[in-house]
């Protein structure tokens, strides 16, 4: 017992240290640094000791440690730490370790663009943070969407002259005007949201709620008078610098949304049409040369209705030509990683065809086929999940962001793609939220920031060639662009299982291979093997588009399975052999005593005896493959106890079909 007391005395005679890193975040512009800039970070420690020793480790995007900095820092003080320039472009993860505490931050190093392409536009996400605008310009965005949605001035019995002055003097418009005056180099797109109010929103005008509850159309004429007034004042504030205006509401979703103050349905549809016509007339009166874009679709109206664009076509029919172009919130499937989701729908699954079909629709209504892409947001996992900043999920997001940009850029007649990365006090696609010791929210970049920066830098002012898309086996995609007398060829594979696809090509000239970090490798003319992943690479070379297309289409896949397939049970001792030719050339397959001819990329089903083993040997040329066999056979007749099933006379139906098993009871 006396020994225990002695030990207790030793433990209590001193103070147990517990270091806390209360702040660790990049400077620059939200962690974006040009290649010539010195990276700087700020860090603050909390501890009972006056000084604490520790390290900051720098890793590249591949997870390799490239630098370790040892530091002795005073506690309770905010320190600025300068790091050595990495010497390469890319995404870099930093880990600070002091005592038993650790914290993660990051930075992006990218070259400076001399000229910004207005095609790459981004929606403003934080007017109160000037660094956010400087950061997106450093990433290469050349345009900014000016969004007036947050200003909802209407109230019952307003005085028109006082209301106009109130709108004109609003802080909302004043800071937009100030920013535009200070940044004349950006291309600006104007936007008016046609959405009104949510049922649970604050400050919903009582007269609108009353009209709805009494069974009338929700929105009085005065509401639209105020809307027109807002358009006039926003237009005045921009001093004629905006020539493209977007009227935005995902009406294909809004009409089904009971949370709208109108409860959705026909009221919301009528409001959409009325607002669009009034806005078009007002904008054309103020500037006859401006372009008015109608954005009515979230992708739901294209991907889930038959025929596609059923609702959009109805709207355009009733707009009497009062639009110049069609805008799209071009979603094609799941875009959220919340709620435990781990996969985002690949853009290869319908995005490009969606854009092409929208151009055709636009021409059907007498326009020139101009479309815009106004949104393709990605929702990041909950902050509480603490998703690894450079883990597989965030690398997937980075790859898809680059592929989005490439595919959209490959379609002609799109003046801008308005990137949306808006999230308040949450993780964004390009930035993770971090806080300092005062709990002020700051930002440190995700890998998507460098993938977007590299893609923008490479494709700025590039033009797609005629028929730019190249599809190859193994879900390999490539696109042909022209820029400065050279061909730019982004290439990747879209197999969600990941891995590497090796493609041997014969380069018609010396080339540059640029990785997603923005680093270049010289390739000599002649044979080379492209190691393709889900993340795009860019081959840049001096050659004709036809020669580069031929190079890709005549390329040879290295160490790849030529045919894929499986075996599934059928009936009466038979099985179905499913075969897919993964090559763009004919193949001869021998299996279960049969010879099967497969044309290029052909799929075929062959009936064979049911194998007894778990795999089926299949011969393709000189190669033997083992295809999986599904042995889960449903026996239609089995021994058992016979029972009689009866039902009351008033129960219908008296039979039920179970189509999964082809049974009839």
CATH level 3 topology of 464-558: Immunoglobulin-like (2.60.40)
Distances (CA, A) of 445 to 100, 144, 305, 627: 25, 20, 38, 43
**Per-residue model confidence (pLDDT) at position 652:** 55
**Per-residue model confidence (pLDDT) at position 3:** 43
**Per-residue model confidence (pLDDT) at position 638:** 60
Domain boundaries, the chain: 18-110, 117-460, 464-558, 563-628
**Per-residue model confidence (pLDDT) at position 532:** 98
**Per-residue model confidence (pLDDT) at position 560:** 83
pLDDT single digits (tens) 492-502 = 999 998 999 99
Across residues 289-309, what is the average pLDDT? 94
**Per-residue model confidence (pLDDT) at position 635:** 57
Report whether the peptide linkage leading into residue 307 is cis, meaning its omega lies within 30 degrees of zero: yes
**Per-residue model confidence (pLDDT) at position 9:** 35
Sequence-distant (6+) residues with CB within 8 A of 251 are 194, 268, 269, 272, 296, 297, 311, 315
**Per-residue model confidence (pLDDT) at position 644:** 77
Closest CA to 517 of 34, 60, 164: 60
650 pLDDT tier (thresholds 50, 70, 90): low
**Per-residue model confidence (pLDDT) at position 147:** 85
Min mean pLDDT across 49-58, 377-386, 410-419 is at 377-386
| Pair of tokens at residue 324 | 């110049």
> How far apart are alpha carbons 93 and 96 in whole angstroms?
10
Across residues 314-327, what is the average pLDDT? 97
pLDDT single digits (tens) 360-393 = 999 999 999 999 999 999 999 998 888 999 999 9
Q: Where are the alpha helices (DSSP H) in 157-250?
A: 160-168, 171-182, 206-213, 221-237
Backbone CA torsion sign across 165, 170, 176, 181: positive
Q: Do domains 18-110 and 464-558 have the same CATH topology?
A: yes
> How far apart are alpha carbons 513 and 395 in whole angstroms?
20
Query: Right CATH number for 563-628 from 1.10.1760, 3.90.1690, 1.10.10, 2.60.40?
Result: 2.60.40
Closest CA to 570 of 542, 592, 590: 592
Min mean pLDDT across 170-174, 229-233, 318-322, 343-347 is at 170-174
Across residues 291-316, what is the average pLDDT? 95
**Per-residue model confidence (pLDDT) at position 653:** 54
% the chain with pLDDT above 70: 93
Report whether the peptide linkage leading into residue 187 is cis, meaning its omega lies within 30 degrees of zero: no
3-state secondary structure of 211: helix
Element (H, E) at 419: strand 417-419
3-state secondary structure of 311: helix
Closest CA to 566 of 497, 630, 475, 632: 630
Across residues 279-295, what is the average pLDDT? 98
The pTM assigned to this predicted structure is: 0.88
Sequence-distant (6+) residues with CB within 8 A of 506 are 526, 527, 551, 554, 555
| Residues 79-88 as b or e (16 or more Cβ within 10 Å = b) | eebebeebee
Across residues 475-485, what is the average pLDDT? 98
Across residues 24-35, what is the average pLDDT? 95
**Per-residue model confidence (pLDDT) at position 633:** 66
Quick check: 1 pLDDT over 50? no
Neighbours of 46 (CB within 10 A): 16
CATH 3.20.20.80 matches 117-460: yes
Instruction: Tell me if 342 sits within 8 A of 380, measured CB to CB.
Output: no
| Pair of tokens at residue 249 | 């509401």
Quick check: 662 pLDDT over 60? no
Neighbours of 131 (CB within 10 A): 16
Across residues 284-306, what is the average pLDDT? 95
Across residues 549-560, what is the average pLDDT? 93
> How far apart are alpha carbons 565 and 602 in whole angstroms?
12
pLDDT single digits (tens) 74-119 = 999 999 999 999 999 999 999 999 999 999 999 999 999 999 999 9
**To which residue do tokens 């006039």 refer?**
232
Average pLDDT, the chain: 91
> How far apart are alpha carbons 374 and 394 in whole angstroms?
23
In angstroms, how far is CA 166 from the centroid of its own chain? Answer: 37
**To which residue do tokens 């179970």 refer?**
658
> How far apart are alpha carbons 43 and 23 in whole angstroms?
5
**Per-residue model confidence (pLDDT) at position 211:** 94
Backbone CA torsion sign across 60, 64, 67, 71: positive
Cα angle 235-236-242, degrees, rounded to a multiple of 5? 45
664 pLDDT tier (thresholds 50, 70, 90): very low
CATH level 3 topology of 18-110: Immunoglobulin-like (2.60.40)
């Amino acid at each position: 017992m006396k020994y225990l007391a002695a030990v207790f005395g030793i433990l209590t005679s001193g103070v147990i240290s517990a270091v806390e890193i209360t702040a660790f975040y990049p400077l620059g512009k939200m962690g974006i640094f040009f290649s010539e800039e010195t990276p700087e970070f700020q860090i603050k420690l909390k501890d009972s000791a006056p000084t604490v020793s520790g390290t900051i480790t720098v890793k590249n995007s591949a997870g390799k440690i490239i630098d370790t900095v040892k530091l002795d820092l005073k506690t309770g003080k905010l320190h600025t730490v300068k790091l050595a320039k990495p010497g390469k472009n890319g995404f870099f993860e930093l880990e600070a370790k002091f005592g038993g505490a650790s914290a993660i931050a990051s930075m992006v190093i990218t070259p400076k663009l001399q000229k910004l392409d207005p095609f790459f536009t981004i929606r403003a996400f934080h007017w109160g943070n000037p660094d956010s605008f400087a950061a997106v310009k450093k990433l290469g965005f050349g345009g900014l969407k000016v969004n007036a949605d947050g200003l909802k001035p209407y109230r019952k019995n307003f005085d028109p002259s006082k209301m106009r002055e109130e709108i004109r003097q609003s802080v909302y418009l004043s800071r937009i005007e100030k920013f535009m005056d200070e940044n004349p180099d950006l291309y600006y797109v104007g936007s008016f949201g046609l959405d009104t109010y949510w049922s649970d929103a604050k400050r919903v005008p009582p007269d609108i709620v009353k009209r709805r509850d009494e069974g009338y159309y929700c929105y009085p004429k005065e509401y639209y008078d105020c809307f027109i007034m807002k358009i006039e004042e926003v237009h005045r504030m921009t001093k004629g610098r905006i020539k493209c205006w977007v009227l935005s509401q995902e009406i294909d979703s809004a009409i089904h949304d009971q949370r709208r103050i109108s409860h959705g349905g026909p009221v919301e549809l009528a409001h959409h049409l009325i607002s669009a016509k009034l806005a078009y007339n007002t904008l054309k009166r103020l500037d006859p040369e401006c372009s008015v874009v109608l954005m009515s679709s979230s992708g739901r109206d294209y991907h889930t209705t038959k025929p596609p664009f059923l609702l959009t076509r109805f709207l355009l029919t009733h707009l009497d030509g009062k639009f110049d172009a069609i805008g799209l919130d071009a979603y094609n499937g799941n875009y959220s990683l919340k709620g435990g989701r781990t996969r985002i729908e690949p853009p290869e699954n319908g995005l490009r065809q969606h854009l092409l079909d929208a151009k055709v629709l636009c021409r059907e209504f007498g326009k020139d086929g101009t479309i815009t892409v106004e949104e393709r947001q990605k929702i990041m996992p909950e902050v509480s999940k603490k998703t690894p900043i450079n883990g597989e999920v965030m690398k997937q997001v980075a790859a898809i962001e680059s592929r989005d940009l490439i595919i959209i850029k490959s379609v002609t007649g799109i003046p801008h793609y308005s990137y949306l990365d808006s999230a308040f006090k949450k993780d964004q696609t390009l930035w993770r939220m971090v806080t300092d010791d005062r709990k002020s929210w700051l930002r440190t970049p995700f890998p998507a920031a460098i993938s977007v920066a590299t893609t923008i830098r490479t494709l700025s002012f590039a033009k797609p060639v005629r028929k730019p898309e190249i599809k190859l086996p193994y879900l390999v995609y490539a696109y042909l662009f022209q820029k400065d007398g050279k061909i730019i060829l982004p290439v990747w594979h879209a197999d969600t299982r990941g891995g590497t696809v090796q493609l041997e090509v014969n380069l018609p000239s010396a080339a540059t291979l640029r990785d997603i970090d923005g680093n270049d490798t010289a390739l000599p003319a002649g044979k080379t093997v492209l190691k393709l992943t889900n993340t795009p690479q860019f081959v840049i070379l001096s050659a004709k588009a036809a020669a580069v297309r031929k190079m890709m289409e005549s390329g040879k896949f290295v160490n790849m399975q030529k045919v894929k397939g499986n075996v599934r049970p059928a009936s009466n001792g038979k099985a179905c052999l499913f075969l897919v030719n993964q090559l763009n050339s004919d193949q001869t397959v021998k299996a279960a005593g049969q010879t099967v001819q497969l044309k290029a990329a052909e799929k075929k089903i062959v009936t064979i005896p049911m194998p007894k083993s778990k795999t089926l040997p299949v011969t393709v040329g000189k190669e033997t493959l083992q295809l999986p066999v599904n042995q889960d056979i449903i026996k239609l007749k089995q021994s058992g106890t016979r029972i009689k099933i009866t039902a009351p006379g008033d129960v219908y139906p008296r039979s039920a079909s179970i189509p999964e098993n082809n049974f009839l009871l």
